Amino acid sequence: MTVGDLDEVSSAVEIVASAASMDAVIRPPGSKSITNRALLVAALARGESTLTDALYSDDTLVMAEALSSLGMRVETDAEERTFTVTGCDGKPAPGPAVVSVGHAGTVARFLPPLFALGSGSYDLDGSPRMRERPIAPLVRALHTLGVTVTHLDGRDGLPVRVRSPRLRRAVRPHRDRPARRRHGRPMVLEPVRLPLRSLAASRSASVPLNECARFALIARR
């Protein structure tokens, strides 16, 4: 399945109330947040990973197609709700590359740190609505890690161009909005400290930390 199949995935479903009581077993959909984070970590891993009970949505299919364009093999099975990912061992295909995230804000935040692990230049763009969403905190965090990120239209949002050597040095980023900067950190070669100023920020860290743990990455609070 590709982004070209999104119309089928996103089609409206009419729900009619039952006139009688029901006795049913319901299989809820997967989580977009967990699926996209797991796709990213699986793409950076070595070897093959299978994600089960995943969510099939616009955002997760955009992520799968973006990873495929960067040299990772992503196989999908909508009926079984699985993604099978052959990772790049931390080495995305070299640029130049141009990737569009459409309306997928989650993908727009996750891909720049991934680009920073490659070589060459990577251009990231999205829909007109996505261009209105600022990503300055993420850009500042990547600058702290030595990554060159250029806003191609002079504003704080997309499109951007990312150029970077592989991330190697340990840093302590600025304290503003840390929840947007936790993605991409596991590929640095030394520990990185991320101060969390609030309980809400600490709770939001749980999802990426849990996904890292599934792939044997060490993160401590």
At residue 212, the pLDDT reads 56
Interatomic CA distance for residues 61 and 139, integer angstroms: 24
Higher pLDDT, 41 or 205: 41
At residue 85, the pLDDT reads 97
Q: Which residues contact 25 (CB under 8 A, 6 or more apart)?
A: none
* 123-155: pLDDT as tens digits: 999 999 999 998 988 998 888 888 899 999 878
Displacement of CA 132 from its chain's centroid (Å) = 19
Q: Is a pLDDT exceeding 90 seen at residue 83?
A: yes
At residue 206, the pLDDT reads 57
* 32-60: pLDDT as tens digits: 988 999 999 999 999 999 999 999 999 99
At residue 30, the pLDDT reads 87
Give percent of the chain above pLDDT 70: 69
At residue 178, the pLDDT reads 43
At residue 185, the pLDDT reads 44
Q: Is a pLDDT exceeding 80 seen at residue 205?
A: no
* 154-199: pLDDT as tens digits: 788 999 999 976 554 434 444 444 444 444 444 554 555 666 555 4
At residue 133, the pLDDT reads 92
At residue 168, the pLDDT reads 45
Mean residue pLDDT of the chain comes to 79
pTM over 0.95: no
In the chain, the domains with their CATH numbers are 29-214 (3.65.10.10)
The least confident of 10-19, 56-65, 77-86, 111-120 is 10-19
SS3 sequence of the chain:
CCHHHHHHHCCCCCCCCCCCCCCCCCCCCCCHHHHHHHHHHHHHCCCEEEECCCCCCHHHHHHHHHHHHCCCEEEEECCCCEEEEECCCCCCCCCCEEEECCCCHHHHHHHHHHHCCCCCEEEEECCHHHHCCCCHHHHHHHHHCCCEEEECCCCCCCCEEEECCCCCCCCCCCCCCHHHCCCCHHHCCCCCCCCCCCHHHHHHCHHHHHHHHHCCCCCCC
At residue 74, the pLDDT reads 97
Tokens of residue 111, six digits: 């891909």
Higher pLDDT, 170 or 120: 120
Span 82-111, average pLDDT:
93
